[in-house]
C-alpha cells in the first residue's frame, strides 16, 4: 500500500509505504536494530508507555535537535515511559551520534535492514528510503494514542503538542 500527499521533502512530494495509523489503532509490531546489531521489537517495551520519535537521519540539523529535545524531556518522565528514536541510519552511526551528543535517556534504533518499522507505521518514504519525521505515542496496552506525521520533513514536530498528549496518556494510566 502506498500513500501520497501526506509529506514533502524540501517541497517535493514523497510517497509513504504502508498503511497509515490513527489514534485508537493497535500498534503494529516491528523489528529494529540497536547499536550492537541486536534485534529489538515492540514486545521488548511491553507494559511501558512508548514515545516513538522518528527521524530521517540523526546526522541532519533538525533530527539532531529532535533527538536532543526528546532526550532532555525524557529525563523528567516517569519510569514507565520509554522514549525511542527510530531512523534509517546505520546502527554504528546511531551509536556514534548518541555518544557524541550525550543522548542517554532516548533509546535509538535503526530500521535500515528491512524497513519493518517504517512500513508497519506508514512512514517509509519510497523515493529516499528514509523515514518521514513523525511522533507516535503508544500506551501500555499497545494502543496508538497520538500520531503526528510532520507534513514537511525538514520541519520540527510540535514538541509541545506531543508533551501535552503524553501527559494525558500518563494521567489516564494513573486513573485506571
- Which sequence positions are flagged as catalytic? 63
First to last CA, the chain: 36
| Whole-number Å distance between alpha carbons of 39 and 109 | 9
Coil, helix or strand at residue 127: coil
Cβ contacts of 112 within 8 Å, gap of 6 or more: 33, 88, 89, 90, 91
If one counts every other C-beta atom within 10 angstroms of the C-beta of residue 125, the result is 21
| Whole-number Å distance between alpha carbons of 37 and 149 | 27
Residue written as cell 541486536? 38
Q: At 32, which helix (H) or strand (E)?
A: strand 31-33
Amino acid at each position: 500500500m502506498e500513500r501520497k500527499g501526506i509529506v514533502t521533502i524540501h517541497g517535493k512530494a514523497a510517497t509513504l509505504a504502508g498503511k497509515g495509523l490513527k489514534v485508537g489503532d493497535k500498534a503494529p509490531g516491528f523489528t529494529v536494530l540497536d547499536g550492537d546489531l541486536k534485534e529489538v521489537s515492540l514486545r521488548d517495551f511491553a507494559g511501558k508507555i512508548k514515545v516513538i520519535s522518528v527521524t530521517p537521519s540523526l546526522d541532519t540539523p533538525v533530527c539532531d535537535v529532535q533527538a536532543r529535545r526528546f532526550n532532555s524531556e525524557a529525563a523528567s518522565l516517569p519510569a514507565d515511559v520509554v522514549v525511542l528514536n527510530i531512523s534509517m541510519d546505520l546502527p554504528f552511526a546511531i551509536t556514534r551520534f548518541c555518544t557524541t551528543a550525550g543522548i542517554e535517556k532516548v533509546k535509538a534504533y535503526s530500521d535500515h535492514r528491512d524497513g519493518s518499522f517504517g512500513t508497519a507505521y506508514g512512514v517509509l518514504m519510497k523515493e529516499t528510503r528514509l523515514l518521514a519525521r513523525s511522533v507516535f505515542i503508544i500506551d501500555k496496552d499497545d494502543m496508538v494514542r497520538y500520531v503526528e506525521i510532520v507534513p514537511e520533513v525538514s520541519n520540527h514536530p510540535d514538541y509541545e503538542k506531543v508533551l501535552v498528549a503524553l501527559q494525558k496518556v500518563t494521567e489516564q494510566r494513573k486513573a485506571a
